[in-house]
Amino acid sequence: MKKKIMVVDDEENVLKLIQIIFEKEGYDVIGASNGKECLEKLKTVKPDLIIMDLMMPELTGKETAEKIRRNPKTKNLKMIFLTVARLSDVGKKELRGLKVLDYITKPFDNSDLIKRVKNALE
């Protein structure tokens, strides 16, 4: 059974790039261009992992993650955040509070991204 990864990023080129990377690795990839679309898709799809941009318009990655954690059907989903920002210790602590497995800074190294996702899915 193929593992499913949902990629949530408001930058279409980043979204497409990550989709291509993980489809080549043999995963089913579902794309969402913002937090609202992610939450909507989670009503019908249960991914094994969500890779989500932290900074998005309307609903940030953090706000989306908070909603995911509050929903009994999605509260245990594995999540990795992508961000251009260097996170402070407080920011990292907040992510741990949301049970985020990892955060990866953009621009990312493709092989590093693949390795970290595979580790998260083990």
**Residue spans per domain, the chain:** 4-117
| Spatial separation of the C-alpha atoms in residues 34 and 7, rounded to whole Å | 10
Q: Answer for the pair 106, 84: CB distance below 8 angstroms, yes or no.
A: yes
Question: Which residues have a Cβ under 8 Å from the Cβ of 10 and sit 6 or more positions away?
Answer: 33, 34, 53, 56, 57
Which helix or strand (DSSP H or E) is residue 40 part of? helix 35-41
**Overall CATH class of domain 4-117:** alpha beta
Positive or negative, the CA dihedral 20, 26, 30, 32 is: negative
What is the tens place of the pLDDT at every residue in 19-65?
999 999 999 999 999 999 999 999 999 999 999 999 998 899 999 99
- Helix, strand, or coil here: 74? coil
- pTM for this one? 0.94
